[in-house]
A and B are shown apart, each in its own frame.
Chain A
């Protein structure tokens, strides 16, 4: 198997003329596009899109609330996919049983899983907060332990646990594998969250967009296009941050390896002095 070398982070940051260690031409372009897209989204969502006949201006929270959870779903699905790849590439007999991950692809997938999960947690938190504000004006309460809200909180807490697990000190291979197993367990909750409004009687409304073939659209016109545009904007923003976070995870690995090397060198010096 041919493995491509890891990109030189310093080289890519310098090429982009970026002061950020994790910057590159791609992230600079994405950053500009993301910020411009957010500006247009604010314009569409707050001014151009009409107020709802029943909910009034409160409906404008939908353009943050719904894309947030869609992007979070995407992050968690990507975490699960990357985790499956990690497990496959570090399976028994491949790259040893203990110690660091020898396989570069496995390390990359592990970073993808970590970065995507963190973004998923951020956007789930945004979903919960904006949903709560929306609930106050439409339901008269910030919180209700109904099926959708409860399963979403469970999703949030589970992935917080996943992020905590990733931070527990261990050899990189063991850490990557156990995190991957947890990610594959945690993702089971995703369809439960999504279909909770269909499976149980809930205060929460049904899905904003009916994606079933031939199904009725719950939203049309300017609201529909603004919602889709907001989702695209959130995706670009998530991609932009995700690339930076992936590179920071690479730097964290390098820092960990450097401190390990330093400790080993110290130990060698001590042994040599003791002789």
Chain B
């Protein structure tokens, strides 16, 4: 492998691994929020509103 290829692989791997972790963390937060019925706006909060008792 050439120097450039190794450098490129290193940067791409670091970027992909970090981005994958960021996506996993944020998606896990959204899933848990939806599960708990305390989601943020949008489809998540629609679920949250429906899950709340209306009196």
Contacts and interface: CB of A to CB of B under 8 A. Distances in A.
Contact of A251 (B17, B18, B36, B45): B36
A57 B36 contact: no
Contacts of A61: 6-7, 10
Interface string B1-45: 101101101110111011001100110111011111011111011
Say which size band chain A's interface belongs to.
Answer: 35 or more
A9 interface: yes
Which label, helix, strand, loop or mixed, suits the secondary structure of the B interface? helix
A23 B30 CA distance: 10
A57 B3 contact: yes
Interface in A113-147: 122, 125-126, 129-130, 133-134, 136-137
Interface string A92-127: 000000000000000000000000000000100110
Most A CB within 10 A of own CB, among B3, B18, B35, B42: B3
A41 B17 CA distance: 17
A237 B17 CA distance: 13
A64 B28 contact: no
B6 A58 contact: yes
Nearest to B8: A46
A19 B40 CA distance: 6
Contacts of A10: 33, 38-40, 45, 48
Interface of B: 1, 3-4, 6-7, 9-11, 13-15, 17-18, 21-22, 25-26, 28-30, 32-36, 38-42, 44-45, 48
Given A23-B26, A61-B7, A126-B17, 16 more contacts: A19-B42, A21-B30, A21-B40, A42-B11, A46-B11, A64-B11, A122-B21, A129-B13, A133-B13, A137-B3, A237-B18, A241-B21, A244-B22, A245-B25, A248-B25, A251-B33
13 contacts: A17-B41, A18-B41, A21-B34, A21-B44, A22-B29, A58-B7, A64-B11, A129-B13, A133-B7, A248-B32, A252-B32, A254-B36, A255-B35
Interface of A: 9-10, 13-14, 17-23, 38, 42, 45-46, 55-58, 60-61, 64-65, 68, 122, 125-126, 129-130, 133-134, 136-137, 237, 241, 244-245, 247-248, 251-252, 254-255, 258
